[in-house]
């Protein structure tokens, strides 16, 4: 680890100001950033911790039936308090291990956009709104490829609003070593249609499986899936599975998510 300054502002405005410093870096729960620093793979001048900002912490309901999660809210709190959206709470309750869940934050996960992280699937399948200190970004516009998002430098995710679906479930098949998602599929059924988001599988990061969405919107049942095909060509191929295997798992996990949706 290289030396750095550390600041822990208590307001979003102060955090935004601190992030204007050259090479300043926002720190959520640190579940990716701290190991990166320990490996000397990053040299921030200042870490701006966001976890002391009261207005970025906690879970509440909006009038539009959205679960609203503060950007600095830990996975454990979401797992405990997002009971209005069981699919989301269930997803949060299976991220990493208890230590990860008590440190890691929803804003940190979405800002990092690891291609194997769970939260991007929840945000995309829910058609969530990503609220930042400057604007509101639709999930469909937010994810722009592996580790790439619509966020500008210094922009802070202050809140994420998840519209509550009628039924949903996240089914994850874990990579044996990291326990990240080798393939994770979030299925969410809304009045106006079904959304299916896939994480872990693609070189491009989280994506919507639109063929499955169409099929499931017509018939929300695992029986709607067998005839669909999905190509493994652009999927991640590594020690833990070929692109073809991941494509196969996308289908299997989607079917299981539908079968378990509640």
Partner 1 sequence: MPKDNTTTEGGIGAATVRREDIRFLTGEGNYTDDIRLQGECHAIFVRSDVANGVIKSIDTSTAEGMPGVLAVFTGEDFVEVGGNPAGWLINSRDGEPMKEPKRPVLAHGKVRHVGDAYAAVVAETREQALDAAGAIEADIEELPAVINMASAVAGGGLVHDEIDTNVCFDWGWIEDNRAATDAAIKAAPHVTTLELVNNRLVPNAMETRASMGDYNAGTGEYTLYTTSQNPHMSRLLICAFVLGIPENKLRVIAPDVGGGFGSKIYHYGEEALVLAASKKLKRPVRWTSTRSEAFLSDAHGRDHVTKIELACEKDGTFIAFRTETMANVGAYLSNFSTATPTFLHGTLMAGNYTVPNVYVNVKAVFTNTVPVDAYRGAGRPEATYSIERVIDMAARELGMDPIELRRKNFVKPDQYPFASAAGLEYDSGNYDLQMDKLEAMIDRPGFAARRAESEKNGKLRGLGLNAYIEACGIAPSNLVGVLGARVGLYDAATVRVNATGSLAVMVGAHSHGQGHETAFPQVVAEMLGIDPQSIDIVHGDTAKIPFGMGTYGSRSLAVCGSAVVRATEKIIAKAKKIAAHMLEAAEADIEFEAGNFSVAGTDKSVSFGEVAFKAYIPHNFPIEDIEPGLEETAFYDPANFTYPSGAYACEVELDPETGKVTIERFAAADDFGNIINPMIVTGQVHGGIGQGIGQALIEQTAYDDDGQLLSASYMDYAMPRAEDVPFYQVNHDDGTPCAHNPLGVKGCGEAGAIGSPASVVNAVIDAMQSGGKNVTHMDMPLTPSRVWEAMNAKGV
Distances in whole angstroms, Cα of residue 5 to Cα of each of 97, 172, 202, 229? 29, 38, 36, 51
Dihedral of the alpha carbons of 60, 49, 100, 146, in degrees to the nearest 10: 90
Which is nearest to 53 in space by CA: 19, 25, 13? 13
- The verdict on 4 binding partner 1 (CB under 8 A) reads no
Q: How far is the CB of 211 from partner 1 (least distance, A)?
A: 19
How many residues of this chain bind partner 1 (CB under 8 A)?
A: 20
User: Contact with partner 1 (CB under 8 A): which of 119, 162, 173, 207?
Assistant: 173
Q: Which stretch binds partner 1 (CB under 8 A): 47-55, 62-70, 143-151, 247-255?
A: 247-255
Q: Of residues 22, 63, 98, 177, which one binds partner 1 by CB under 8 A? A: 177
Interaction residues for partner 1, span 5-64 (CB under 8 A) = 39-40
For tokens 């911790």, the residue is 49
Q: How far is the CB of 176 from partner 1 (least distance, A)?
A: 4
Cα–Cα distance for residue pair 259/262, rounded to 1 Å: 9
- By C-beta, is 195 or 246 nearer to partner 1? 246
Q: Write down the least CB distance from residue 104 to partner 1, Å.
A: 16
Instruction: Provide the token pair at 114.
Output: 């690891």
Q: Which helix (H) or strand (E) holds 142?
A: helix 139-142
The residues of the shown chain that bind partner 1, judged by CB under 8 A, are: 1-3, 39-40, 173, 176-178, 182, 238-242, 244-245, 248-249, 252
């Amino acid at each position: 680890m290289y030396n750095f300054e550390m600041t822990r502002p208590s307001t979003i405005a102060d955090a935004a100001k601190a992030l204007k410093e050259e090479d300043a870096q926002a720190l959520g729960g640190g579940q990716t950033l701290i190991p990166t620093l320990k490996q000397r793979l990053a040299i921030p001048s200042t870490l701006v911790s966001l976890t002391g900002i009261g207005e970025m912490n906690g879970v509440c309901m909006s009038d539009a039936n959205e679960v609203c999660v503060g950007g600095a809210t830990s996975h454990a709190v979401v797992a405990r308090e997002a009971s209005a959206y069981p699919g989301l709470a269930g997803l949060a309750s299976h991220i990493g291990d208890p230590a990860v869940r008590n440190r890691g934050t929803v804003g940190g996960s979405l800002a990092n956009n690891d291609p194997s992280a769970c939260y991007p699937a929840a945000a995309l399948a829910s058609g969530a709104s990503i609220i930042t200190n400057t604007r509101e970004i639709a999930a469909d516009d937010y994810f722009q490829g592996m580790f790439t998002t619509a966020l500008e430098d210094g922009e802070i995710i202050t809140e994420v609003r998840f519209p509550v679906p009628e039924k949903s479930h996240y089914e994850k098949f874990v990579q044996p070593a990291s326990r990240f998602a080798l393939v994770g599929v979030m299925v969410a059924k809304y009045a106006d249609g079904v959304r299916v988001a896939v994480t872990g599988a693609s070189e491009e990061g989280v994506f919507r499986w639109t063929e499955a969405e169409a099929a499931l919107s017509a018939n929300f049942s695992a029986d709607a899936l067998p005839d669909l095909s999905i190509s493994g060509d652009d999927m991640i191929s590594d020690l833990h599975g070929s692109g073809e295997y991941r494509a196969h798992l996308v289908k299997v996990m989607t079917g299981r998510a539908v079968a378990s949706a509640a």
